[in-house]
């Protein structure tokens, strides 16, 4: 790691004063190695190099607390506009299993590389990845330079449908204990590697696919290893009703009752809850989360595109829940995650001042850091990791510039991210990812899609082709 001192002189820094982000105009930031040394008006010491940031906005890197990098790029051009009312428009039970089963390892590798580059393009410096592709992801981190938390997913059983009418469950003989052991082995061998860029967390898959013993063992190991835990919960009406049928409790109530829901847990999604219009069930789940101290990873776009909206980010925050943001699926763009979180909450609340730019920016930075137990991420201050974004402040998206965070949340696009620094290393410069050829990464995703789509009929209960599962928006010329 370089020991050079680097200074960034910028028109605006979104700096952290120990309590909150503040605007520092015409300020300076100095970092050495992987750590920020100084943020203020003028650094008095000598530096080895200077990054000119006139006309730039310097921001802390974004923290994505929920992603599935090994498949999400191939969601494009297939999942949009599709969903069965039988399953309350969730894609979990028909569409996603078909897509995942139609993939092979080479497709997954192509998705991982593309995803890491896509995250950098949108200013994401830390990502939580949940999946089964740990070895391939581990190998790519030095190339692209992302800060990664990886959770090897495991579960006691899995859902399936044989007729598109009902969701059934099949259970493993060992209820997932062997998979937990494999996850622990991976964590032992990889946690903290690549200069601390690659860390691990425990990731039992979904609340309705994990039995009580598996979750109890998970928490025991999480405390022993001092690592976070994440789980998908309250993500569909099917799941919500299934847990009521099994336990007479909502998914979140059940997690609390078995001692699983604690302050080291990041709940993935948490949208279908008591008190929401989707459940017609008494409220109380927001209070359950707030009292437990858990964090929530909200991925607004994946649900919003299906007509499912959190009700609402504003209420969750008012309840005292630590809110963070994820992407879950494509596009893997935290700028869009902030925008959709704010706008959808405003629509639900019918108030323009509900869920402001400040609140979603905090969720993408400080909220994500709190979820992972990292006081050295999500902020620009002395002692924090040098995870930094430089936005253009002079592009057509960003002028006129009076309030930088409002412009980032409501107007910025990927092309406005000029430079990304992670752990003190420049990984994106002049809007270009340094670790890979973007055209080649895109070509491999296109080839993967062409190989995947014809396989889908083999994995659908009704043997439908890709064009039957997801009809083209317009029919081909001449038909």
Q: Which two three-digit tokens encode residue 477?
A: 């010329």
- Kindly state whether residues 259 and 149 are assigned to the same domain: yes
Q: Which residue has the tokens 């936005």?
A: 391
What residues form DSSP beta bridges with 39? 29
Question: What is the pLDDT, as a whole number, of residue 3?
Answer: 84
Residue 109 covered by a domain: yes
Residue 135 covered by a domain: yes
> What is the residue-wise DSSP string for 52-77?
EEEEEEEEEPEEEEEE-TTTGGGGTT
Q: Which DSSP category does 208 fall into?
A: G
Q: How far apart are CA 163 and CA 77, in angstroms?
A: 24
Cα separations (Å) of 99 from 32, 72, 96, 452? Answer: 44, 10, 5, 8
Q: Which two three-digit tokens encode residue 326?
A: 């994820």
Query: How, if at all, do strands 322-325 and 35-40 pair?
Result: unpaired
Residue 393: count other Cβ atoms within 10 Å of its Cβ.
Answer: 24
- How many structural domains comprise the chain? 2
Residue 117: count other Cβ atoms within 10 Å of its Cβ.
Answer: 25
- Kindly state whether residues 35 and 111 are assigned to the same domain: no
Residue 451 covered by a domain: no
- Kindly state whether residues 182 and 213 are assigned to the same domain: yes
Provide the whole-model pTM.
0.97
Write the CATH number for 388: 2.30.40.10
Q: How far apart are CA 144 and CA 131, in angstroms?
A: 19
Residue 464 covered by a domain: no
User: Average pLDDT for consecutive 10-residue bins of the chain (479 residues)?
Assistant: 89 97 97 98 96 96 98 96 94 95 97 98 98 97 98 97 96 97 98 98 98 98 98 98 98 98 98 96 98 98 95 97 97 98 98 97 98 98 98 97 98 98 98 97 98 98 97 93
Domain span at residue 145?
62-371
Question: What is the pLDDT, as a whole number, of residue 200?
Answer: 98
- Kindly state whether residues 51 and 68 are assigned to the same domain: no
Question: What is the pLDDT, as a whole number, of residue 219?
Answer: 98
- Kindly state whether residues 81 and 161 are assigned to the same domain: yes
Of the three residues 333, 354, 371, the one that is the final residue of a domain is: 371
> Containing H/E element for 125?
strand 124-131
Question: What is the pLDDT, as a whole number, of residue 132?
Answer: 94
Count Cα atoms within 13 angstroms, Cβ side, for 41: 0
Q: How far apart are CA 435 and CA 449, in angstroms?
A: 23
Question: What is the pLDDT, as a whole number, of residue 1?
Answer: 60
Give the largest CA-CA distance in the chain.
71
Burial 68-77 (b: 16+ CB within 10 A, else e): bbbbbbbbee
Query: How, if at all, do strands 229-233 and 168-171 pair?
Result: unpaired
- Kindly state whether residues 161 and 252 are assigned to the same domain: yes
């Amino acid at each position: 790691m370089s020991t050079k001192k680097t200074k960034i002189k910028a028109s605006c820094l979104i700096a952290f004063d120990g309590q909150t982000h503040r605007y520092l105009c015409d300020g300076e930031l100095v970092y050495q190695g992987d750590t920020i040394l100084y943020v203020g008006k003028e650094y008095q010491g000598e530096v080895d190099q200077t990054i000119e940031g006139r006309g730039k906005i310097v921001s802390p890197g974004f923290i994505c607390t929920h992603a599935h990098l090994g498949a999400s790029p191939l969601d494009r051009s297939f999942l949009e506009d599709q969903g069965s009312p039988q399953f309350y428009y969730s894609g979990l039970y028909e569409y996603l299993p078909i897509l995942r089963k139609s993939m092979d390892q080479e497709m997954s590798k192509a998705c991982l590389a593309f995803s890491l580059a896509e995250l950098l393009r949108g200013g994401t410096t830390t990502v939580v990845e949940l999946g089964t592709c740990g070895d391939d992801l581990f190998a790519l981190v030095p190339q692209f330079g992302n800060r990664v938390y990886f959770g090897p997913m495991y579960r006691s059983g899995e859902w399936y449908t044989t007729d598109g009418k009902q969701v059934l469950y099949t259970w493993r003989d060992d209820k997932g204990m062997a998979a937990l052991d494999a996850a622990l082995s991976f964590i032992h061998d990889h946690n903290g590697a690549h200069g601390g860029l690659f860390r691990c967390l425990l990731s039992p898959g979904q609340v309705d696919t994990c039995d009580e013993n598996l979750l109890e063992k998970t928490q025991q190991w999480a405390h022993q290893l001092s690592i976070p835990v994440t789980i998908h919960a309250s993500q569909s009406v099917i799941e919500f009703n299934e847990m009521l049928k099994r336990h007479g409790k909502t998914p979140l109530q059940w997690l609390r009752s078995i001692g699983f829901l604690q302050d080291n847990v990041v709940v993935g999604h948490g949208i279908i809850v008591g008190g929401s219009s989707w459940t017609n069930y008494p409220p109380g789940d927001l209070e359950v989360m707030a009292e437990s101290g858990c964090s929530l990873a909200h991925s607004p776009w994946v649900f919003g595109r299906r007509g499912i909206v959190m009700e609402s980010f504003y209420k969750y925050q008012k309840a005292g829940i630590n809110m963070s943001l994820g992407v879950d699926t494509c596009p893997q763009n935290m700028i869009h995650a902030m925008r959709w979180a704010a706008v959808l909450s405003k629509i639900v609340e019918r108030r323009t001042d509900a869920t402001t730019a400040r609140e979603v920016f905090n969720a993408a930075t400080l909220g994500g850091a709190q979820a992972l137990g990292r006081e050295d991420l999500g902020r620009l201050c002395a002692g924090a990791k040098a995870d930094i974004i430089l936005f253009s402040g002079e592009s057509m998206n960003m002028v006129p510039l009076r309030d930088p965070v409002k412009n980032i949340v409501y107007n910025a696009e990927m092309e406005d991210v000029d430079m990304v620094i992670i752990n003190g290393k420049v990984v994106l410069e002049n809007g270009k990812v340094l670790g890979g050829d973007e055209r080649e990464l895109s070509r491999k995703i296109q080839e993967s899609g062409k190989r995947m789509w014809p396989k889908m009929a083999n994995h659908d209960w009704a043997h439908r082709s890709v064009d039957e599962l997801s009809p083209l928006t317009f029919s081909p010329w001449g038909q």
